[in-house]
Structure 1
Amino acid sequence: MKLLKTAIKNNVLKSMIEILERERKTIITENKKDLDAFQREDQALYDRLVVNDKKVDEMITAVKDVMSQDDPVGQEISNRTLKNNLNIVNTTAPFGTILIIYESRPDVTIEAAVLAFKANNKILLKGGKEAYNSNVILEKCWHEALEANGLSKEWIQLLHLKREETQEFLRNPTEPLDLIVPRGGERLINFVKTHATCAVLVSGRGNNFLYVSEHADWSKAVNVIINAKTDKISGCNALDKVLINKNLPEYEIKLKMLQEKLEKHQVEILVDDKVSDILSQKEKIKDTDIWYEEFLALKLLIGEVNTLDEAVDIINKFSGKHSASIITEDKTEAMNFMQNVDSAAVYHNASTRFTDGGQMGVGAELAISTDKLHHRGPLGLKQLVTNKYYVFGDGHVRV
């Protein structure tokens, strides 16, 4: 796809804002068809599927935020002139064609497309069948915005492929793919990694941990735990595991206090062997594999540790490397934790729910990357470009 001028891209986004507002009722009506057809046994997936007035407002805000950001393409990274007068300029450049595969969440059809398009990438959207009607109407909105500004609908396309067809497309794409972003659970990620023939940037599972140090302010700890667990159970930044240092003053009393608080929020509590000695009425885990599990439910596993190092080791072994938090009043201890935990985002005295493009000041996000190449954390506009070297000579030859 050719390079577009910033003004043209912004005009498309301006049109899209107007179209989303105009089609608000139609979008919500189409979404209701998906909601009515959805089997509600998976509450987290259902929550992600819902599009209401608030969600449409958020879609419009996402487009406005990206429109107001600087164009990430053609930005100079470095400029060097060598002793032989060869001028080497490194600049940002589009990836090319990005494929994103995601489950539920029709708002991804807006956020992923607006970011990819502003960064001058073509994007292929493979949404889940549960959001079919929602995604179709949103694609129509995009196509109207593109064509109103003299651009091809090919910039933003929804792929209507079944599982077997998607598998074949990944193995033998009908057009060149430069980057694939699977946004969903472990099964989806493994599916894409198994069949893709180009670069894959993983938006990994959550399974986030919080460690309560013996130097913690208990009031802060409880408030952060409740927020991280209950604010939005369907979020990949929600909390699943809490590790508490047994040397915390009044340890047993505080554990029972935490149990009481969690139960007021209808949180199911699981415990390890040691915590079970204190919270004896709670279900004790039978298989250590549960430490790997992302719950996406009002469920929390509480475990006991002896030291900071033990907590770090457990987190690095079992977590999804998404987000991890420490509650402590010891800043040196906090920095030790944050430097040694292998996660995309690490927190001191704060909820993991802040691992989000909007909350972190990035704006709309394509995904939360748990990979280390080429970026980790929220994938915003500036992260949807690669780089390209421009070398200027005057008949230079290497000798």
Structure 2
Amino acid sequence: MKLLNTDIKNKVLQSMMQILDRNKKEIIAANKKDLDLFDESDRAMYDRLIVDEKKVDGMIGAIDEILNQEDPVGKIKSERKLENGLKIQNKTAPFGTIMIIYESRPDVTIEAAVLAFKANNKILLKGGKEAINSNIALEACWHQALKENGLGTDWIKLLHMNREETQEFLRNPTEKLDLIVPRGGERLIAFVKEHAKCAVLVSGRGNNFIYVDETADWAQSLKVIINAKTDKISACNALDKILINANIEDYPNKMKELNEVLSSQGVSVLVDNDAAKVLKDNERVVDESIWYEEFLAMKCVVSPVESLDDAIDRINKYSGGHSATIMSKDENTAGEFMDQVDSAAVYHNASTRFTDGGQMGVGAELAISTDKLHHRGPLGLEQLVTNKYYVYGNGQIRE
């Protein structure tokens, strides 16, 4: 795609904010068609699907944040002059064409597109069929904003494909793809990795852990656990597994209190055989696969561990590499946990719910990357560029 100057990109974003504001009722009405067809029993996905006035205002706010961020394209990362007179600059450059595959959340149609466009990338949006009416309405807004500023609508395009057509597109794309971001569960990620012919940046799977150390402030720990588990169950940064150091003072009563507090919030508490020695009436973990599972539901697993090393090993074996917290008064213990746990974000005495572009100061996010190549964590504007070497000479040849 042609490199656009910052001014024209920002004018498109300004237009888009105004268009969304004018078309709130139409967008919400389109979303209602999706909601009416959706099975509310899948509460997590239903919650992600909802678009109301507050959600549209949030979309406008996300665009405004990106509008006010510096253009990430063309920044000099490094430069040097060689003895032979060559001047070498390493500068940021767009990826080209990004494809994002996502389920349920219409706001991704805004956040992903605004980030990709400001970073001078074309974006192909493959939303789930459950949000088709919402996404069509939002795509129409984008196209209006592009046309108002003399640009073609192919910068931002919604793909209308079923599973088989998507699979074929990944295998034999009809246009050049530079990066694919699957934003969803393990099945979606595996599907994309199996069929894609270009780079895939993995996003999404949570299965996040909190470890309560024996020195932890117990009241603070309960507060953080409840927030991480119940604040938004549909989020990839929600809590799924709770590890309690068995050497914590008054361990049996603390386990019972944790169980009571979670249950009072409507959370189903599963226990392993060790935890069942105290919580005898709770449902037991019957299959190891549950430890790998991201619940996206009012459900969690509680288990004792004997040591910090035990907690670290458990987290590194089962977690999705997204977010993990230690509750501890001991800074050295917390530092070891944070160094040794292999996750995109590690926390000391804070909720995992902060693993979010807006909360971490990035602004809108394309996704939360759990990959180690290119970038881990929230994919914001600065992460949607690659690099390119500019070499300036005066007839030099290599001898």
> TM range, normalised to the smaller chain?
over 0.9
**Separation (CA, whole Å) in 1 of partners of 2:79 and 2:278:** 63
In the other structure, the counterpart of 1:367 is: 367
In the other structure, the counterpart of 1:347 is: 347
In the other structure, the counterpart of 1:29 is: 29
SS at match of 1:99: strand
In the other structure, the counterpart of 2:262 is: 262
SS at match of 2:199: coil
**Separation (CA, whole Å) in 2 of partners of 1:271 and 1:217:** 22
**Separation (CA, whole Å) in 2 of partners of 1:166 and 1:62:** 28
1:321-332 aligned at under 5 Å gives the runs 321-332=321-332
SS at match of 1:7: helix
**Separation (CA, whole Å) in 2 of partners of 1:81 and 1:332:** 44
In the other structure, the counterpart of 1:284 is: 284
Per-residue CA deviations over 1:28-64 (Å, capped at 9, x if unaligned) read 0000000000012211000000000110010000000
In the other structure, the counterpart of 2:38 is: 38
**Separation (CA, whole Å) in 2 of partners of 1:329 and 1:30:** 50
1:83-162 aligned at under 5 Å gives the runs 83-162=83-162
**Separation (CA, whole Å) in 2 of partners of 1:307 and 1:322:** 22
**Separation (CA, whole Å) in 2 of partners of 1:162 and 1:330:** 52
- 1:218 shift after superposition: 0.3
SS at match of 1:100: strand
In the other structure, the counterpart of 1:212 is: 212
SS at match of 2:59: helix
In the other structure, the counterpart of 1:295 is: 295
In the other structure, the counterpart of 1:191 is: 191
Q: TM-score, with normalisation over the residues of structure 1?
A: 1.00
In the other structure, the counterpart of 1:311 is: 311
**Counterpart residue identity of residue 205, structure 1:** R
1:380 aligns with 2:380: yes
- 1:260 shift after superposition: 1.1
In the other structure, the counterpart of 1:336 is: 336
SS at match of 1:326: strand
**Separation (CA, whole Å) in 2 of partners of 1:131 and 1:188:** 16
1:53-72 aligned at under 5 Å gives the runs 53-72=53-72
- 1:259 shift after superposition: 1.0
**Separation (CA, whole Å) in 2 of partners of 1:381 and 1:244:** 38
Please, which runs of 5 or more residues in structure 2 have no aligned partner?
none
Per-residue CA deviations over 1:201-231 (Å, capped at 9, x if unaligned) read 0003000000000010101110000000000
1:67-78 aligned at under 5 Å gives the runs 67-78=67-78
1:170 aligns with 2:170: yes
- 1:132 shift after superposition: 0.2
**Counterpart residue identity of residue 81, structure 2:** T
CA RMSD of aligned residues (A): 0.4
SS at match of 1:202: coil
In the other structure, the counterpart of 1:273 is: 273
In the other structure, the counterpart of 2:230 is: 230
**Separation (CA, whole Å) in 2 of partners of 1:260 and 1:282:** 11
**Counterpart residue identity of residue 232, structure 1:** K
**Separation (CA, whole Å) in 2 of partners of 1:98 and 1:387:** 15
**Counterpart residue identity of residue 169, structure 1:** F
Per-residue CA deviations over 1:264-289 (Å, capped at 9, x if unaligned) read 10100000111101010101111111
**Separation (CA, whole Å) in 2 of partners of 1:373 and 1:41:** 37
In the other structure, the counterpart of 1:252 is: 252
SS at match of 1:151: coil
- 1:180 shift after superposition: 0.1
**Separation (CA, whole Å) in 2 of partners of 1:54 and 1:317:** 39
- 1:85 shift after superposition: 1.2
**Separation (CA, whole Å) in 2 of partners of 1:397 and 1:289:** 60
- 1:88 shift after superposition: 0.3
Please, which runs of 5 or more residues in structure 1 have no aligned partner?
none
**Separation (CA, whole Å) in 2 of partners of 1:257 and 1:314:** 23
In the other structure, the counterpart of 1:179 is: 179
